[in-house]
Amino acid sequence: MLGLLSPLERLLLDEAGPVASALVLDAPALAAHLAGEGASVAAFCDLADDQASLATPVEVVEPGAFGEFERALVRLPKSLDALDEYAGWAVQAGAEHLLVGARVKDLTRQATTVLERHFRTVRASLGRDKARVLHASDPIAHPAGWRPGWPRTRTITLPDGGDLVVTHHGSTFASGRLDAATRLLLEQLPGLLEGRSPSRVLDWGSGAGILATWLAGRLPDAEVIAVDSSWAAAASTAATASSAGVRVSTHWVDGVRWLSEMPDSSLDLVVSNPPFHQGVAKDSGPTLQMFAEGARALAPGGRLALVHNSHLPWARVLCDLRVGQVSRLAQDRQFTVTSLTR
């Protein structure tokens, strides 16, 4: 089992020493190893596929369902907000010691500052295999009934002048802000809907649910679906839609797999601000697969609209599918909105 661990996970294991009980976050192989060694282990992963890979004897948990554990072991998430939420979960689970494993190049002083909000003592281990561990101990006592300060809400102003209360967890893309790319796509949606009454709409990679909630508000008779592989995103989407009083069917699932199971010609509109990072690494694979599956699932006359960095060759990729007409709807100094009409 040890051979299945990454160098970072092996360092976390060595730094942890003997472990009787642990909460493990975003490290499924490490959770399986500790459980196999006889530790009492509960684990949670933000990515749906990682969560699905957890199996007995690991206790699979979701936020809010943590028990009591002496230690928490975490792979450093890509955002400081996510680290703050995870550290709060560790304190909530009664962990006296939190270990955060990271690649040396990803560690910043700010990560230590975040941990110091929750623990009195934070120190870094010696590096090994280009990885280090932050040790946080002596948790700061909180009053009875204390809960971590997540999710949070932020009120944004939409391009049409309306306000939207956005809920976001620590790992949610853009931290609940209306990022420039999503704004550019939102500005094109009224034109996309003009003269059309789509009955089934998909927001692929929904993030905090801004696009899905806007569409559900403008299309009250349509089935609006949101999918995201991140628990933080799916939970945020559901909460944002609920706060706005609209119906969005939200799924925490691998988006490509979900689309691949959709029948041909079953969607009238697909919108996306697609990611091209997996964690901290660039990975365009899921987005490219989404193009093919999304185009296949479009009904005749249906449209796929996406916003992307202008340097990415997504318009050419969509043209190469040879399933419809590709057009550029908008472009600014950084982003482009491209549409495929089947």
Residue carrying structure tokens 């609920």: 242
CA distance 110 to 108: 5
How confident is the model at residue 282, as a pLDDT? 53
Note whether 234 and 226 are within 8 A (CB).
yes
Domain with CATH 3.40.50.150 in the chain: 2-139, 152-341
pLDDT band at 278 (very low <50, low <70, confident <90, very high): very low
Positive or negative: CA dihedral 140, 143, 145, 146: negative
Residue 211 structure tokens: 């696009």
137 beta partners: 97, 121
Say yes or no to pLDDT of 281 above 70.
Answer: no
pLDDT, the chain, mean: 94
CA distance 290 to 273: 12
Cβ neighbours of residue 59 under 8 Å, at least 6 residues apart? 40, 41, 42, 43, 67
CA distance 183 to 192: 15
CA distance 309 to 27: 31
DSSP three-state, residue 133: strand
How confident is the model at residue 283, as a pLDDT? 58
CATH number of this structure's domain 152-341: 3.40.50.150
Residue carrying structure tokens 């209360």: 165
Position 154, amino acid: R
What pLDDT digit, counting tens, does each position of 181-199 carry?
999 999 999 999 999 999 9
pLDDT band at 277 (very low <50, low <70, confident <90, very high): very low
Q: Are strands 97-103 and 131-139 parallel, antiparallel or unpaired?
A: antiparallel
CA distance 249 to 312: 30
Helix axes 314-321, 285-297, angle to 10 degrees: 40
CATH number of this structure's domain 2-139: 3.40.50.150
Note whether 124 and 99 are within 8 A (CB).
no
CA distance 165 to 181: 19
pTM over 0.75: yes
Q: Where are any strands of DSSP class E within 169-210?
A: 200-204
